[in-house]
Amino acid sequence: MHMNASARAPHLVAALDLSRVRRALDLGGGSGAYAMAFARAVPGLVVEIVDTPDVVRLTRRYVAEAGLQDRVTARAGDLRAGEYGSGYDLALLSAVCHMLGADENADLVRRAARALAPGGRLVIHDYVLEPDRTSPRPAAIFAVNMLVNTELGGNEPRTTT
């Protein structure tokens, strides 16, 4: 996953105007590939990653190997609960939303938005299906994977009767 994210991260960075971003939050940042790409692209940019304790141990190793530990930090946290801090110019949700159901995503987006400074931006980077839920093909195949391997991800919200 780190190799794939490292290959995709520069493309996302190139697509964004980061000229006013000095402090960023990467929610569910995994290995730190996107956070490190942001830090490399913008001198002085500081990025904080939030992920599970097991992942954060790996994240810190990747960040140290890249020599970016002075500008990219990682802390353990639960994306599904609590607040993330405040004053961020940018919050990134990359490859996170596909794991959650609609209600969880709405809550996640609200809490991520509260972490932003005035004028800050929330960036959601993920697979997106067309309304027919069958295309584009890579997203549809990925949605099946999420349907099989997560409780709500890649599927419509479940209802009870």
- For 121-145, write each residue's pLDDT tens digit: 999 987 677 777 777 776 676 667 6
Give the pLDDT of residue 51. 96
- Under the banding of pLDDT at 50, 70 and 90, the label for residue 2 is confident
- The reply to whether 125 belongs to the active site is no
Q: Give the separation between CA 14 and CA 131, rounded to whole angstroms.
A: 28
Question: Would you identify the CATH topology of the domain 2-126?
Answer: Rossmann fold (3.40.50)
* Chain centre distance of CA 65: 21
Mean pLDDT of the chain: 86
Q: How do the domains of the chain map onto residue ranges? A: 2-126, 128-161
pLDDT confidence band for 158 (50 / 70 / 90): very low
Task: Show the CA angle centred on residue 9, arms to residues 7 and 11, nearest 5°.
Answer: 90
What one-character-per-residue DSSP string does 99-131 give? GS-HHHHHHHHHHHHHTEEEEEEEEEES----T
> What pLDDT is attached to residue 145?
65
Residue 81 phi/psi, 5-degree rounding, is -150, 155
Q: In the structure encoding, which two tokens stand for residue 56, read together?
A: 């954060």
Question: Looking at per-residue confidence, does 116 or 96 come out higher?
Answer: 116
pLDDT digits (tens, 9 = 90+) for 4-45: 878 888 999 999 999 999 999 999 999 999 999 999 999 999
Among residues 2, 11, 98, 125, the one annotated as catalytic is 98
Strand order in the sheet with 46-51: 72-76, 46-51, 23-27, 88-94, 116-125
pLDDT digits (tens, 9 = 90+) for 77-108: 998 889 999 999 999 998 888 777 789 989 99
